[in-house]
Structures are given as structure tokens and as C-alpha cells.
Amino acid sequence: MQRFFSALLALLRDPRLKRLAIAGPERAPYGRAWLTAENIAQAAQLADSGNADAGLISLTSALTPTLKSAGAYFAIPRNLYPPIEQDAVVVMRSPLRDAAHTLLNFLLSAPIQAELAKGGLTPAQ
């Protein structure tokens, strides 16, 4: 935990940091910042292009090959924010109900859950 705060403070105190990009709180669950982006992708693009010196983006975005190779990242410890939960439902009267179940079963399969975990996501429960 100390290492996280030391890295964060070092970044924020770095005189080269002039602008910080972050997705807007209406579209991403991270909060507020100095330079507000429209969404996570724009925050990543602002940081990647140099229009912001750093960006607060999702771990899944930071782990993409392009961003991972372009700079450095650190993950905010999960105990510092409430869980970000996303759900899926199958609508009872949908004509594509069987296809939706097939998709959900695929997403819940062990190989796909392992790939999602590599991308920074918590396995489904």
C-alpha cells in the first residue's frame, strides 16, 4: 500500500505533469479529475498522444498491447474503491434466448474467464 501511495505522489508531484486525463464520472466509475475526458478511451488517447501527461483509466485499457508498450501503469489497490460490478441478463421473451444462453455459457467458461483475468477483470461469480 505504501508503494502505491509513494508512486502516486511521485507522479502527481512530478513537475513534468501538467495535465491529467480521466474519464468523466458519468461514464466511468473513477471519480473526478483536472482534465475530464468524455470516456475511458478518450482519457487513454489524451495520455497516449501527449495531450495529457498521465491518465486515470481502467486496468483493462492499460493492459492493451498499445498502451502497455507506450508507458507505465500501476493498479489502484482494489480495497481502495468499491467493487465495480457488471451484470448480464437473458430476457425471458427474447426470440434469441437460446443464443443468449450460449453466449453467457461461453463467457463463463474457464478459458474465457482466464483471459478476462489476464485483462485485469475479476472472474465472474
Percent of the chain with pLDDT over 70: 86
Residue that the C-alpha cell 501527449 belongs to? 50
3-state secondary structure of 41: helix
Phi (first) and psi of residue 36, to 5 degrees: -90, 125
pLDDT digits (tens, 9 = 90+) for 69-124: 888 888 888 877 778 888 888 999 999 999 999 999 999 999 999 998 888 888 88
Are 73 and 48 in contact by the 8 Å Cβ rule? The answer is no
Where residue 30 falls among pLDDT bands split at 50, 70, 90? low
Sign, Cα dihedral of 53, 119, 40, 125: negative
